[in-house]
Amino acid sequence: MTRNDPKALVTAPDLAAALRAPQPRRTDCDIDGFYLWDVHGSRSEGPCGVTSRRDIATAHLLTALIATTTGTGDVEGLVRRVWLDRLAKEPRYIRGRVVIRVRRDRRTGEIVLVGER
The answer to whether 40 and 46 have CB atoms below 8 angstroms apart is: yes
The identity of residue 114, as a single letter, is V
* Predicted local confidence at residue 40, as pLDDT: 85
Residue from 34, 103, 105 nearest 113 by CA: 103
Which pTM does this prediction carry? 0.68
35 beta partners: 51, 81
Tens-binned pLDDT, residue by residue, of the chain (117 aa): 444 444 444 344 555 565 566 655 544 444 678 999 999 876 667 889 999 999 999 999 999 888 876 555 678 999 999 998 888 889 888 999 999 999 888 777 788 888 776
Give CA–CA dist 92/66, Å, rounded: 28
Per-residue pLDDT, 58: 93
**In 10 A of CB 5, how many CB atoms?**
12
The DSSP secondary-structure symbol of 57 reads H
Separation of alpha carbons 76 and 3, rounded Å: 14
